[in-house]
Amino acid sequence: MNSYSLRGLNWFNALSAGATPVEGLPASLKVADGVLGDQPVRFIAVVADPDNRFVRARNGEVGLLEGWGLAKGVDEVIAADVDKPHKRAVIAIVDVPSQAYGRREEALGIHQALAGAADSYARARLAGHAVIGLLVGKAMSGAFLAHGYQANRLIALRDPGVMVHAMGKASAARVTLRSVEELEALAASVPPMAYDIDSYASLGLLWETLSVEQIEQPTAADLTRVTECLNQAIGDVATHGRDLSSRLGADNRAASSKVRQLLRAQW
């Protein structure tokens, strides 16, 4: 049995069926150009590569090759569509357990690789591309910041295996000098400390959540439902703009909204 998740790969394969694969990228990146409804899109997923030359990035983590590869995959879309009135949408399929932790990664500048990926996604969004993040598994730490978090709209599938956080539970427990059980008890009353999708949604960061029948291997009905939601998200970006202001409306982000209001007034 695999020790790594296949959710991202399975959803990529389902959504990109019939699309044209993009070559010249690491094996841990799946990229394809296709159509979603009548909208041309580029699908992008980070997947596990057991043969990755960087051993810390063999289970779906976002490491050096993945960070720079994501940047390349998104930059190609920006450059190819620069003079087109209708920009391709970018669908980031997110199932990433963490960034790659390792001495080689640190020495070779993983911070720059992941920043490059985040920058490319942000520039695509600002250039008029609808960037949609589809969370089908874990969206953890720097990996999510590099792949998905810069999206105009975030959609999460409802499942206990879909989690968003700055770090894994064991790591968070060590940093906060608590046991995992104590951390989970704290998370019950402090939404930003929790891992479940409902707590994350209460922060106002998700555009939509969806229930599916088989999250590990989507059914035809699952694929239809998710495809419709992705198309609606692309349309919502076209209607309401490409900024991230929609993330600040939730009650649990009231302080964030207030700080931004005061900063604008003082600036």
146 token code pair: 């590099």
- Is 234 part of a structural domain of the chain? yes
Average pLDDT, the chain: 93
**CA gap 157, 241 in Å, rounded:** 24
The tens digit of pLDDT for each residue in 138-197 reads: 999 999 999 999 999 999 999 999 999 887 778 888 888 888 888 888 877 777 777 888
Q: What is the CATH number of the domain that holds 75?
A: 3.90.226.10
123: Cβ contacts below 8 Å, ≥ 6 apart: 74, 75, 78
Task: Label the pairing between strands 153-157 and 89-96.
Answer: unpaired
CB 113 within 8 A of CB 159: no
- Is 78 part of a structural domain of the chain? yes
- Is 173 part of a structural domain of the chain? yes
* CA neighbor of 234 nearest in space, from 208, 203, 216: 208
The tens digit of pLDDT for each residue in 63-110 reads: 999 999 999 999 999 999 999 999 999 999 999 999 999 999 999 999
- pLDDT on residue 255: 86
CB 124 within 8 A of CB 73: no
What number of other Cβ atoms are within 10 A of residue 153's Cβ?
A: 24
Rg, Å, the chain Cα set:
18
3-class secondary-structure state, position 58: coil
Q: Of all residues in the chain, what percent carry a pLDDT higher than 90? A: 74
- pLDDT on residue 1: 52
Provide mean pLDDT across the span 215-221: 96
Domain count, the chain: 1
Provide mean pLDDT across the span 217-237: 96
- Is 114 part of a structural domain of the chain? yes
183: Cβ contacts below 8 Å, ≥ 6 apart: 169, 172, 173, 176, 193
- Is 1 part of a structural domain of the chain? no
Work out the burial of residue 33: count CB atoms within 10 Å of its CB; fewer than 13 is exposed, 13-18 middle, 19 or more buried.
Answer: middle
CB 47 within 8 A of CB 30: yes
3-class secondary-structure state, position 229: helix
251: Cβ contacts below 8 Å, ≥ 6 apart: 202
**CA gap 142, 178 in Å, rounded:** 22
Between 93 and 246, residue with greater pLDDT: 93
Structural domain harbouring 206? 6-265
The tens digit of pLDDT for each residue in 1-54 reads: 568 999 999 999 999 999 999 999 999 999 999 999 889 999 999 999 999 999
- pLDDT on residue 101: 92
Question: Over 90: is that where the pLDDT of 198 sits?
Answer: no
- pLDDT on residue 66: 98
- Quickly count helices (H) and strands (E) in the chain: 10, 8
Q: Which amino acid is at 223?
A: L
- pLDDT on residue 253: 83
- Is 23 part of a structural domain of the chain? yes
**CA gap 120, 227 in Å, rounded:** 24
- Is 19 part of a structural domain of the chain? yes
